[in-house]
Structures are given as C-alpha cells and as structure tokens.
Amino acid sequence: MTSTELLQPVDPSTLAELPAVASADAGGIEAAVAAAVAAMSGSWPRDHRRRAAVLYAWADLIAAESDVIAADLVRETGKPAAEAALEVAGSIDALRYNSGLARLPLGRATSLHDGSEAHLVREPVGPTVFITPWNWPVLLLLRDLAPAFAVGVSALVKPSPQTVHVTNRVVELGHRAGVPLDVLQVVPGGADVGSALVRHPDTAAVAITGSTAAGQAVLRDAAETMTRPLLELGGKASMLVLPDADLEAALAAAGRAAVITSGQMCMACTRVLVHEDQLAQAEKILREALARTAPADPRDPAAALGPLIGPAALEKVTGYLDLARRDARLVTGGEEVHPDGLPGHFLTPALVTDVEVTSPLVQEDIFGPVLMLESYATTEDGVQLSNATPFGLAASVWSRDTARAVSVARELKAGTVWVNGYNRSYAEMPSGGMRMSGLGRTRGLEGLEQFTELKHIHLSL
C-alpha cells in the first residue's frame, strides 16, 4: 500500500472517469486511528445534548443540498434519480431519528439483595470503523453512523472506492454541522485499507455493509484484536405468494423490487414463489411487467432501471444468464442495451423459470436484474423452498389471510419479513441478517446498543 495508489471511480452510465483519489497509506491510517482514539477523551462522548443538536443540524444541511447529493449518487452508482432522492430522504430520517435517541438514557440502576447497589452503564464502544458498499453509500453509512454518534463513538469511514466523492461531501456537511474533525474521518482505500483499520489494536468495533465474502474476511480480521463486528451482508430475498393472495399486487411489487438499483441491492427481490396452479399466470404477468421496465438514462426522473456498476458486474450477471439459458428457461430479458447511446452496461430485466432449487441461480447472490420464478405444491413446501438458500436477510409473504401470513412469516429464516409488502425499512425498526447475511442488528434501539459497551459498576454500601 503506497500513498501514490489511486482509486479511480467511473460513472457507470457514461463510463467517464470521475476524479481519482489517493488511497490512505500506512502513515495516514495510523494518524487517523490516533485522532479517533484521542477524540474519545474529548467532550463528544460525554455531551449527548450537543450530539443530538449536531445530528439534527447535519440532517438539515443534507436536506438543503439534497439535489446535489442525489446527483452525486446517480453519477457514482448509476441508480435512477428517483431512487437517489429516496436514499437522501432515508439518510435525513436516520439522522433525525437518532438525534432524538441521543437524549435517551440507556443505563439502569437497581438495589441488590445484600443491600448493595448496581449501576449498569452503557458507554460508547470506542473508535469504530464503518466500511460501506457502493450501492446505497449514503443511507447505509448514516443508518449505522447515526446511532453510533447518538451514543458517542468516534468514526473512521472507509467507503467503497467507487463512492468516495459522495461520502466526502456528506462527511463535510457533518463537519459543518459541528461533528469534530477527529470524531469523523474518511480513510479512503480498498479492501487492504479496510482490513488494516479492522486489525488495528486501537479500533474497538467495525460495521461493514458489503458482500458475504468481505464480511467473512472482516470477521477473521476482527478476531485478531477482538474488534466487535456488525456484519450487514448479502441476501437472496424471496417473495412467497400464497394461493389466496392478491397475485397482481404481489407480482407488481416483485417486479419493482427486482430492478431496484438494477437488482444490485441486498434486499432486492430475487425469487418469487407461487402455487403451481398459478405458475403460468404468474409467468405472463411478470414477463409483461419486466418487459415494460426498460433500462434508461438514470438522470431521467422517470427512469426505473439504470446500468450495472461496471464490467465485472456485467460479466458476473451474464455468466448467470448463460447458465439460465442452459439449465433453466430464460423467459425474457438479459439483453445488453444502450439507452440514448450511453456506453454503460445496461441489461434488460430477466425472468428465469424451470430452475432447480440447487442451481447457483437460486443459491447465489447474482446481484443483477434477474428474477427467478419458482413454484410450490403446499404452503409447507413454499416455506421450505423460501428457506432453502444460505442467506437470511429479507423475505416477503403475501396472503389475504393475515393470521396465516403471520404464522408463515414466523417460519421464514430472515431478519426482516414483510407481509403483503416489500422493501419497507424504517429508522425505528432494527434490520439485519440471519445465517450468511450477517451478524447483529442496526437501526432502532438495538442499533444504539450495538455501539455501546455495557459496564456493571457495583456499589458496596
């Protein structure tokens, strides 16, 4: 790792190079960690009213610049403008919600049987590394950073090299809002920089959002110095449509959720499971819905589907599409197109059926606009099929019988299960993954606790 190593983000629609950024070198990492450690001795961890005010002011500054941040997001991720606006709105909401929580006392005190007293104190865990992916870079950073700041940690942010500029912009607004420079630092770089930060003996915790492989590597690194991990990783989210459900509404939601961020989203809908008697009808509805979703210039306010992030993603997704042509049936989509002559890697959304549950198409995180349509015979089979991947991030079940849907929801192995809905996330409600989708929970009160140490102070009276 040298100071001359350059990170080169590229606009995924135009393939134009964005300004290059120097990766942090060993000296830069050391200095950043030392500053984050020193910040934990300053007033930031102790002054919760100040933190509440700063988080609120930060939200206001982001709101005032929301158009510029959304334009950055479109340029760096290729996501459609409407989705970028949603990401900014969710980021503001995360800050405002956690601004209130900063004033919530988290401790507990009690008397014990021997006449002594116990104080349970929640202290900020210490300097924390935040490693973010490129796909929802602002929301996913603030989803974790806002609760961490509510409880008073200092932060070392290691963004994806592709989204370093939008991250810098949002962090600068944080500084303008009053977050001290040493409390919030960006440490640019690739996996090696992230790894060095996690392995550093003076970092106390890491929150990574990324692929399962990256999460596993971070967990191994974290073991060296007992760095506390929060792992928000990949998914293979499914929608189980019970025979009595509103099929049209369910499939419309699935079609939208399959193409969000061009399918490059951890909670994107990747599998739809319908009763075998409804398979033909479902295929027709989904084929038509996906055929209507044409890739477009993501800067167009009406665009619903932008490009893949880059050539490696295209190669990966087209590899799965070749497999679908061989081992399953590609019903529609999967063609490379160039809306408005844009050179980026745009794919028409694909629908695949007649696929075995053991196929890599069902078992692996394709991370592209590719939707599997599968069928089941009984509800028990449907549940089993839905649970038959190594992931457990999100799932959905649809039925007009809510009690039945809730009992099915309890059987689904996922950190979030939506009943008659999809992709509904709230700052108030914890989210996270089971199995290979991760460890720990973020958002809600649980999001605060993730970034605290619990200490028992015992008073002999």
Catalytic residue positions, numbered: 232, 266
By rule CB under 6 A, what count of residues binds ligand NAD?
31
Q: Tell me the residue nearest to ligand NAD as measured from the CB.
A: 194
Q: Does 149 bind ligand NAD (CB under 6 A)?
A: no
Restricted to residues 173-192, the positions that interact with ligand NAD (CB under 6 A) are 190-191
User: Which range, of 2-10, 42-50, 119-127, 228-236, touches ligand NAD by CB under 6 A?
Assistant: 228-236
Q: What minimum distance in Å lies between the beta carbon of 335 and ligand NAD?
A: 23
Please pick, from the candidates 194, 263, 295, 368, the single residue that binds ligand NAD as defined by CB under 6 A: 194
Return the exposure string of 156-174: e unless at least 16 CB atoms fall within 10 Å of the residue's CB, then b: bbbbbbbbbbbbbbbbebb
Nearest-Å Rg of the Cα atoms of the chain is 23
Nearest-10 crossing angle of helices 26-39, 191-199: 50
Q: Does 393 bind ligand NAD (CB under 6 A)?
A: yes
Residue 154 one-letter amino acid: S
| Nearest partner of 352 among 329, 333, 325, judged by Cα | 329
| Nearest partner of 395 among 238, 260, 277, judged by Cα | 238
Instruction: Rank residues 51 and 200 by Cβ distance to ligand NAD and give the closer one.
Output: 200
Q: Does 297 bind ligand NAD (CB under 6 A)?
A: no
Q: Are 427 and 93 within 8 A, CB to CB?
A: yes
Q: Does 76 bind ligand NAD (CB under 6 A)?
A: no
Q: Does 132 bind ligand NAD (CB under 6 A)?
A: yes
User: 395 - beta bridge partners?
Assistant: 238, 417
Q: Does 136 bind ligand NAD (CB under 6 A)?
A: yes
Q: What minimum distance in Å lies between the beta carbon of 261 and ligand NAD?
A: 9
The dihedral built from the CA positions of residue 239, 389, 258 and 229, taken in this order, carries a sign that is positive
| Nearest partner of 128 among 205, 24, 234, 227, judged by Cα | 205
Which DSSP string do the residues of 77-131 spell out, in sequence order?
Answer: H---HHHHHHHHHHHHHHHHHHHHHTTS---EEEE-TTS-EEEEEEEE--SEEEE
Q: Does 209 bind ligand NAD (CB under 6 A)?
A: yes
Q: Site mask, ligand NAD, residues 430-449, x = CB under 6 A?
A: ---x----x-----------
Instruction: Rank residues 154 and 160 by Cβ distance to ligand NAD and give the closer one.
Output: 160
Backbone angles phi, psi at 158, to 5 degrees: -115, 95
Backbone conformation region of residue 412, classed left if phi is above 0, alpha if psi is from -120 to 50, else beta? beta
For residue 216, the surrounding DSSP H or E stretch is: helix 212-225
Q: Does 90 bind ligand NAD (CB under 6 A)?
A: no
User: 236 - beta bridge partners?
Assistant: none
- Three-state SS string over 42-55 comes to CCCCCCHHHHHHHH
User: Which range, of 3-11, 179-187, 226-234, 287-295, touches ligand NAD by CB under 6 A?
Assistant: 226-234
- Pull the structure tokens for residue 416: 């979030």
Instruction: Rank residues 169 and 287 by Cβ distance to ligand NAD and give the closer one.
Output: 169
Q: What minimum distance in Å lies between the beta carbon of 31 and ligand NAD?
A: 19
Instruction: Rank residues 8 and 378 by Cβ distance to ligand NAD and give the closer one.
Output: 8
Please pick, from the candidates 13, 77, 185, 195, the single residue that binds ligand NAD as defined by CB under 6 A: 195
Q: Does 232 bind ligand NAD (CB under 6 A)?
A: yes
List residues near ligand NAD by CB under 6 A: 131-136, 140, 158-160, 190-191, 194-195, 208-211, 214, 217-218, 232-235, 266, 365, 367, 393, 433, 438
